[in-house]
Amino acid sequence: MTSFVFSIFWMVESWKSAAPLQGPTKVNHLTQDLAGLLATLVCSYATYRFWKHRSETLGIVLGLLVAAAAMMWHRT
């Protein structure tokens, strides 16, 4: 559920930053942002899975930190 909400925020931000663009440039911009979203979700989940066996709380926190850092650097 958290990933779904994160994805919505990510794509809304992408749509806002691509608003002045038109045609193929806008599609390219949104496609790159979708690829970035998928990479972020995979990295966040991989971090969670790696640390889950050691400490579930630490896994959740580090997974959220990865996602938060990626969101901060998203289209800056």
Under 8 Å between Cβ of 51 and 62: yes
Residue 75: predicted pLDDT:
60
Q: State pLDDT tens for residues 28-67.
A: 888 888 888 888 889 888 999 999 889 989 998 998 898 8
Residue 46: predicted pLDDT:
92
Model pTM score: 0.73
Of 56 and 5, the structure prediction assigns the larger pLDDT to 56
Residue 34: predicted pLDDT:
84
Which residues are CB-neighbours of 75 under 8 A, at least 6 positions away?
A: 13, 14, 17, 33
